Structure 1
């Protein structure tokens, strides 16, 4: 919300500088993000009026203008395409300085002298989006009431300081100048000076000119209308245009500008219909019909759905309620009679419509946060008054006011002692009462310990006792609340088994050099085609969002891979290599009409070459590097008997370079190299390797929580074992047989060599393992170890057909 400082001072007396006021508002919970000086830094530019235009005698694209700059006439040569006699323009005099340091001097163009320059918005350093479209390619047109010779900065309201506020969703009252003025008044104790609405009504009565029918009372609680006849459409006065631009809005014409001005002033969105274009002179507030179409003011034809609220006449929809009006009833230069709409719409309905149409406006922003239902009549009166003064209209007697169900004022039971209890302050009852009354809250003392506090309709965010405690804290000053140590004994931390294993997985991944990332749970449904998933794949069964922020985030993820791939692509595009990342997060599995399941997954991605360190060479992060990371993670959480099996079940992985990970009979995840097609789709510059583990299953399979064990006192005995097996036998199968046959004293079994060659025959391979045996109570003897080795050799021969390799 942009708040011009001078406009704010009209409604509340302010003795603070803009910087001091910004500090005070920020400390009261209404943060001021920025203080903007609108002056772009030019000098010597004044308002002028073009008196005459002649063709340049020696140049087809130039014109010679005579310009009145306040009793003094200048000859100016210009090539602007939008010049016209009688036009108010910005004239840079001799010696003027424009933004960027450009100085204007007397010049001669093809033999004709020019004693200044007609300026465009861009040359003055102005925001071109806030000027009329016809002025964007040429010189800027000034309001016709601008005093000739006056500094253009003053004409355009550029001698202004603007406070840019960050208004939280609960403070809809501060989306208006008056709302901020009330906040300033509560902070400083100064009175609020609200605008005096003084209008003159004339016959006929408005009930003879129009009528209102609300067919959707659940979405429209109140609809107020006024009719203003015989208006003259033209530009709004300069002071109004300046204030609209300061608030970031482009002036259009006096009628539309008045509706925007009152919205900014009072916080109540308004809309002006061309009364003569309304069929049947009747306003109907209803739900849209299926497939109904409307062309909105931005020129776009929009197809509506049944849940959208529209404003209609007897034949068709003429506006999308609370979002944007329709082009067919737009106010144009031919408009003579106006119907003013001032309504209260349901915030949820407006938010849904705005998202469905991908159309946000200043009006929808306010309706979404809920405007003051009691303020609708006064806003309509204020707009009618301004149309009478600035457009010469006559106001029909009375107003139409269809109020579905009147709301009683909110009354809160309040115990003043709770303030000091929650805040740790020592405020007296009188101080608390004074603070509440500064907020225009009506306090009635029902008993010594209990007050009844009536909340004004402008503060819809105050509904509970604790809200009033917060208001006292804000006004008293957060910085004045003493710092105290909480009493009592802080309980010792005790983590659940789930928390222990979640942290263990994260710590293991970080220890392996991976960086943790957190990605969106919302993903693009097109990702499944990019991952080459066939129709009917289980990952394609997703939870679809009813009101997605955008199409690219319209479903909930069933795997963590999309987020990791996007992070990798973003880093690669910025030449941040290598990439080594992981995420521990939830996926969402649909369960029909029930809430989805949210199992936990751990996934990671590596790509590139790990840089050398002081004690290790550069390491290419390939499949075996990734396998080592996964094994380290599984070892950290003490998952037993993990085996890796080649697989082709994952179409996004490279065939022949992927594996499924098993523990007992449970598939706990997968790992492998990303398919070249997927690499290309994400524009990744190097081979990437990914894994994903089902952390829910892993936490069930995980061993006990690690406890301290003393270092063994007795030495281990190591033996090497080399066996020859058929090429089809996986090394993991051989390792499983060794572990099963060795008994409890085998502490480690590690494969250290694989050999194929003529010495062992075709279709055979040699696998060499290092076995480490150890007891905790004594040293193992050679006889005991030899006995265990014989048992291992016998089981290998029986179960996998292995024979000892002969040197």
Structure 2
């Protein structure tokens, strides 16, 4: 909501309050002010000019030489390229020395050999958004009213001597979608009174009901409909002040009739619509639900097919408007309109919301109807529009209102005690202070038996329960005045649980390892829901999914992570490393809800090391990612419990996949995507992993203990083994560790050889073994004895040693 302070000052006295100060007060009271826009900032020396002569430039087809009276002794020659400039116009002129938005300074210049003393401006050049500039001037200069005086300050004439506050409203504060709503809020903050607009007007002797009949066939969706009839109107441009206020509010001016309905919309928050009475053709308005397949062309030029639950305004035969959303082109006010029907109505918020969403049609009107308008302002807004049409369009308002009214307009009654308010706020606000706040808010109340009995104004649809009154008292008293206290409890507030600390360790480690965190959808397609799943269970489907691609809860994090990798590589990012910590959903728990299990997954493709001038490129491979998982286990104190075995999974390479085991039970998988999967996803070599993080983090671990740096030297021995290709290195390593005794501290593979001079079907694996006793220096005899024991065990399992 954009709030012009010049406009606001008509309803509440804000004199002496700086815009920034007012914005701060409004923000502190609960409505955030997103921006404070001084519309004249950076603008100066911009005046009204009168074009005395306009002739084509002799050296340029698209330029004109204009002689312009700018209020000085002599007219100025200005070169202008606007297609609509003409002699006799009153225009906006930036004289030499003027400044425009963005710091642009206007100087005397020569254009194709002719001098130019200034610039004739369009509204866009003064900082107006092109969306709010009247269509007649969208591609040229702006023409001012004939009564404008040369040399007059153009900024004031255009309403630019103004500051606009941009409010970021929460859904419950629909009352502030109007200038009057903001006026009530401002008055409460500043302890001021509100001045309401004038709605009185003269009426003709002819009753409106003589010209117009009204029939409501769907009172549940339209419990209140009021129609005013204004005849003998002259359709034309609105006065400058009205156009300026609409543009400040972000609304494009059209003509005086339409502008008045938009003005009242912004003023009262009550949407109105103006019908051309003669175009109705039936002297009747009937409100009903549409017939199946009924069609209407709306004001935006689009033909729309309607459904039976869509509410429409008709002339008794065909639709002329979609109720609460948009009018129809067949009853639009135009230059030849002489008689206008003003519609002011209350439409069911649910009906408007459903229609607007299904038709994909949002408007300022539907936004307000969806949230609920003030039922006690509907008729008043119609009277205000009629008064303005009489004043600005020369109209004659017919007497009375054609009215259907079955709407409950009684205010909500809320009872709340001062003790209830103070208990909820944790403070002691005096009773008199609460009374003063209710008076500032213009909330009628009675103090009865120690309670406030409050009739919440119908403009405040958000006030329905005692807690709403607590909020109103708190925000007007001042959130800053609420004392800060810590909860009284046995535990220290704000600490992380051990599980949360470990999860944070996981994230920090993975980011330190070079992976970026991704957050993807929990919903996927049914075909992708169990792909790469460590554990499968019956899938959980949504009853009303937004699309088939978001219809089922996932059982693996990898499909969406791989989609993110594909998205990035398709945009020239060749190296991508992503991880995600999130939940998968397995079957149904005891409470009837899906069982959530937290997983961590990663997907990496491209270079693993940077490839700078000091280092070569290293392509990510299976062992790079296995190292990440091993180091993660070390960070969590699980290294001794973690192991790997050859694995298989659909979508992963059969020879480059490993199951991750914790205490012998599978908790994850590491693998390279299968070549066919990589091709389908348009990826190069990509390595993935997924772990059951919940299992890892819930595993009991020994506390970390400091181990002194050994004082005694270690002894290394190498052993090379020839074994069949099918034998896994892990099997050999397990045999080594099982027979080495306590002196063995590290086993490391440093060579694998398959090729010439190696028997068919065989391979050589070389291990480096490190022996250490932290209490003494080992002897060669002790190490040789342990080493021989290992060799004997390996040979017993079929391995051959190489010398």
TM-score, structure 1 as length reference: 0.81
Q: Give how far 1:389 is off.
A: 1.5
- Alignment partner of 2:600: what SS? strand
Q: Which residue of 2 aligns with 1:34?
A: 35
Return closer, same or farther for 1:518/1:115 CA change in 2, 3 Å cut-off. Answer: closer
SS at match of 2:579: strand
SS at 1:336 equivalent: coil
Q: Which runs of 5+ in 1 are unaligned?
A: none
Q: Match for residue 213 of structure 1?
A: 216
Distance 1:743 1:124, change over 3 A: same
Q: Which residue of 1 aligns with 2:12?
A: 12
Q: Give the equivalent residue in structure 2 for 1:753.
A: 751
Corresponding residue for residue 23 of structure 2: 22
TM-aligned CA deviation for residue 609 of structure 1? 3.9
Q: Tell me the distance in 2 between the aligned counterparts of 1:95 and 1:776.
A: 86
| 1:672, distance to aligned residue in structure 2 (A) | 2.4
Match of 1:410 among 412, 416, 429: 412
Aligned partners of 2:653 and 2:671 also within 8 Å: no
1:3 aligns with 2:3: yes
> Partners in 1 of 2:49 and 2:518 — Cα distance?
59
Shift of 1:78: 4.6
Q: How many residues align?
A: 784
Residue 409 of structure 1, CA deviation: 1.7
2:207 is the counterpart of 1:204:
yes
User: Do the aligned residues in 2 keep the contact of 1:268 with 1:372 (CA within 8 Å)?
Assistant: yes
Q: Could you tell me how far apart the structure 2 residues matched to 1:493 and 1:162 are?
A: 41
3-state DSSP class of the match of 2:131? helix
Residue equivalent to 2:346: 344
Moved more, 320-329 or 743-752: 743-752
In structure 1, which of residues 586, 593, 596 is the aligned counterpart of residue 583 of structure 2? 586
Find the aligned partners of 1:643 and 1:63 in 2 and give their Cα distance.
Answer: 82
For normalisation by structure 2, the TM-score amounts to 0.81
Are residue 387 (structure 1) and residue 389 (structure 2) matched?
Answer: yes
Q: Which secondary structure does the structure 1 equivalent of 2:238 belong to?
A: coil
The answer to whether the 8 Å contact 1:718/1:771 transfers is yes
1:325 pairs with 308, 324, 327, which one?
A: 327
| 8 A Cα contact 2:106 2:118, kept in partner | no
Cα distance in 2 for residues equivalent to 1:553 and 1:87 = 59
Q: 1:153 to 1:784 in 2, by over 3 A?
A: same
Counterpart of 1:388 in 2: which secondary structure? helix
Greater Cα shift, 393-402 or 162-171: 393-402
Say whether residues 1:296 and 2:295 are aligned partners. no
- 1:336 Cα deviation (Å)? 2.8
Q: What do you get for the CA RMSD once the two structures are aligned?
A: 5.0
- How far apart in 1 are the matches of 2:699 and 2:163? 66
| Map of 2:624 onto structure 1 | 625
CA contact (8 A) 2:294 2:305 kept: yes
Q: Secondary structure at the match of 2:763?
A: strand
**Greater mean deviation of Cα atoms: 154-163 or 639-648:** 639-648
**DSSP-derived class of the 2:207 partner:** strand
User: Alpha-carbon deviation of 1:242?
Assistant: 0.7
Q: Distance in 1 between matches of 2:72 and 2:642?
A: 98
CA distance in 2, matches of 1:787, 1:289: 94
Question: Cα distance 1:773–1:101, how it changes in 2: closer, same or farther (>3 A)?
Answer: closer
- Residues of 1 paired with 2:109 and 2:785: CA distance? 109
Alignment of 1:277-292 (within 5 A): 277-278=279-280, 280-285=282-287, 292=294
Deviation at 1:456, TM superposition (A): 0.7
Greater alpha carbon shift after TM alignment, 723-732 vs 745-754: 745-754
Q: d(CA) in 2 for partners of 1:386 and 1:401?
A: 20
Is 1:690 matched with 2:693?
A: no
- Tell me if the contact between 1:54 and 1:65 (Cα under 8 Å) persists in the aligned partners: yes
For 1:525-544, what aligned pairs fall within 5 Å after superposition?
Answer: none
Q: Is the 8 A contact 2:214 2:403 kept in 1?
A: no
* Alpha-carbon offset, residue 363 of structure 1: 2.6
Which residue number in structure 1 is paired with residue 513 of structure 2?
Answer: 513
Deviation, structure 1 residue 656:
6.1
* CA distance in structure 1 between the aligned counterparts of 2:748 and 2:406, rounded to whole angstroms: 79
Q: Give the SS at the match of 2:376.
A: helix
Aligned to 2:182: 180
What is the CA–CA distance in structure 2 between the aligned matches of 1:5 and 1:290, rounded to whole Å?
47
What is the Cα deviation at residue 432 of structure 1? 1.3
Structure 1 pair 312/643, CA: closer, same or farther in 2 (3 Å)? Answer: farther
Deviation at 1:183, TM superposition (A): 1.2
* Structure 1 residues 6 and 507, CA gap change in structure 2 (3 angstroms): closer
**1 CA distance for matches of 2:351 and 2:519?**
30
Q: Could you list the runs of 5+ residues in structure 2 that have no partner in the other structure?
A: none
CA deviations over 1:370-390 (Å, ceiling 9, x no partner) = 332332221122112212221
- Segment drifting more, 344-353 vs 358-367: 344-353
Distance in 1 (CA, whole Å) between partners of 2:340 and 2:247 is: 24
- Output aligned runs, 1:129-140, within 5 Å: 129-140=131-142
Work out whether residues 94 and 106 of structure 1, in 8 Å CA contact, stay in contact via their aligned partners in 2.
Answer: no
Aligned residue for 2:163? 161
Q: Does 1:477 align with 2:478?
A: yes
CA distance in 1, matches of 2:188, 2:344: 28
Alpha-carbon separation, structure 2, partners of 1:744 and 1:281:
103
Deviation at 1:265, TM superposition (A): 1.0
**C-alpha displacement at 1:248, in angstroms?**
1.7
